[in-house]
Amino acid sequence: MVKKIDWERQLGRRLKLRDLHIFFTVVQLGSMAKAASQLGVSQPTVSEVIADLEHTYGVRLFDRRPQGVTLTIYGSALFRRGAAAFDELKQSGRDIEFLADPTTGEITIGSVESITATLLPAAIQRFSENFPRVVLKVDTVSTAGSFEGLRERRYDFFLSRPMQSYQSNIYGDDLDVEFVFDDPLVVIAGGNNPLTRRRKIHLKDLMDEPWIMPPPETFYYKRVVDAFSAFGLVIPKASLVTLSVQLRTNLLAGGRYLTAVPNSLLALNVGAASLKRLQIDLPVPPFAVTVVTLKNRTLSPVVERFIACIRETSRAIAGPPSDDKTKGRKQMQARRRKTESASC
């Protein structure tokens, strides 16, 4: 039976931040021996700390196995709540650092590659002009892995491209999503490709061209399939399959390849000067660009300022949201009211 504890009296006397730090390290490494090695203490010390925590809570926090340890349901509850508490303490330190010197701080960003290569560099350039000493850490990951990074508080925010502006089923109730702008799908080629000089062109005229396509398992691929289907066409066989923006732009600039990309690749990518859009309007929904944050997590002032830079940079390639983006407008207005003082 779970031990009932008077936490008002016991919290300060029985729980220590050092013990919780050891607990988190054991969770991270899955082994008390590995945790002891990383922390520079003996394994009996780690075992004693974990045993004391289990005695304090009156439950077993770990299942012990020859291969290491795994969390019990009770340990998972402590880890989840404890991680939030430690994160708030870390955020308070960042707030104090920013208040003491608004030109310093650290921001951790997760982003899908197509935004890392387009919107993000332009926002960083704008932000760094005013805050040159702020350290930015950027991870380029798939959308599938992005939200766990937020929940684990490894990222302050994530830049995402859902299939639609508000595809709520891919977000959990614990996440806040702010629509930034819609990014249309366009067909591009190298500047020397003769197709770029044609004023009238149809997608069916490009079926035999060498195409660079995204991997079939991605939502990006589905959007390209929809573009061809809109003209009654089957997607052509790819000459190259990749999501790499750098590989695509290099091959397009130097050859006859074609590809379909979000328009921001041309509008914001510094290496896109040798690329041109073909005169084809693709009747498919655009890609949304969204800023995803963990609900009820307090963002530091310097993070809010960077998100403001994301908004300002997006205006270079997008106008105000259309009428069907009412939800997005409300989300943006709510965030802006919350951070009126934050500007890039």
pLDDT for 220-252, tens place per residue?
888 899 999 999 999 999 999 998 888 888 888
Measured between alpha carbons, how far is 106 from 286 in angstroms, rounded to an integer?
A: 32
Q: Which domains are seen in the chain, by residue range?
A: 7-83 (1.10.10.10), 101-181+287-338 (3.40.190.10), 185-277 (3.40.190.10)
pLDDT for 263-303, tens place per residue?
888 876 555 558 889 989 888 888 889 999 999 888 888 89
pLDDT for 311-332, tens place per residue?
999 887 764 444 444 444 444 4
Question: Cα 124 from chain centroid?
Answer: 15
Measured between alpha carbons, how far is 54 from 61 in angstroms, rounded to an integer?
A: 6
- State mean pLDDT over 125-150: 84
Q: What confidence tier does 58 reach under pLDDT thresholds 50, 70, 90?
A: confident
Measured between alpha carbons, how far is 333 from 171 in angstroms, rounded to an integer?
A: 20
Strand 287-294 relative to strand 175-183, pairing: antiparallel
Least confident of 9-18, 61-70, 100-109, 145-154: 9-18
Stronger pLDDT, 81 or 310, i.e. the higher one: 310
Measured between alpha carbons, how far is 186 from 290 in angstroms, rounded to an integer?
A: 19
Sheet holding 175-183, edge to edge: 133-140, 104-111, 157-160, 287-294, 175-183
The first and second tokens of residue 114, run together, are 């197509």
Measured between alpha carbons, how far is 44 from 250 in angstroms, rounded to an integer?
A: 56
pLDDT score recorded for residue 10: 55
Strand 133-140 relative to strand 104-111, pairing: parallel
Three-state SS string over the chain comes to CCCCCCHHHHHHHHCCHHHHHHHHHHHHHCCHHHHHHHHCCCHHHHHHHHHHHHHHHCCCCEEEECCEEEECHHHHHHHHHHHHHHHHHHHHHHHHHHHHCCCEEEEEEEECHHHHCCHHHHHHHHHHHHCCEEEEEEEECCHHHHHHHHHCCCCCEEEECCCCCCCHHHCCCCEEEEEEEEECEEEEEECCCHHHHCCCCCHHHHCCCCEEECCCCCHHHHHHHHHHHCCCCCCCCEEEECCCHHHHHHHHHHCCCEEEEECHHHHHCCCCCCEEECCCCCCCCCEEEEEEEECCCCCCHHHHHHHHHHHHHHCCCCCCCCHHHHHHHHHHHHHHHHCCCCCC
The first and second tokens of residue 250, run together, are 């290099």
pLDDT score recorded for residue 66: 85
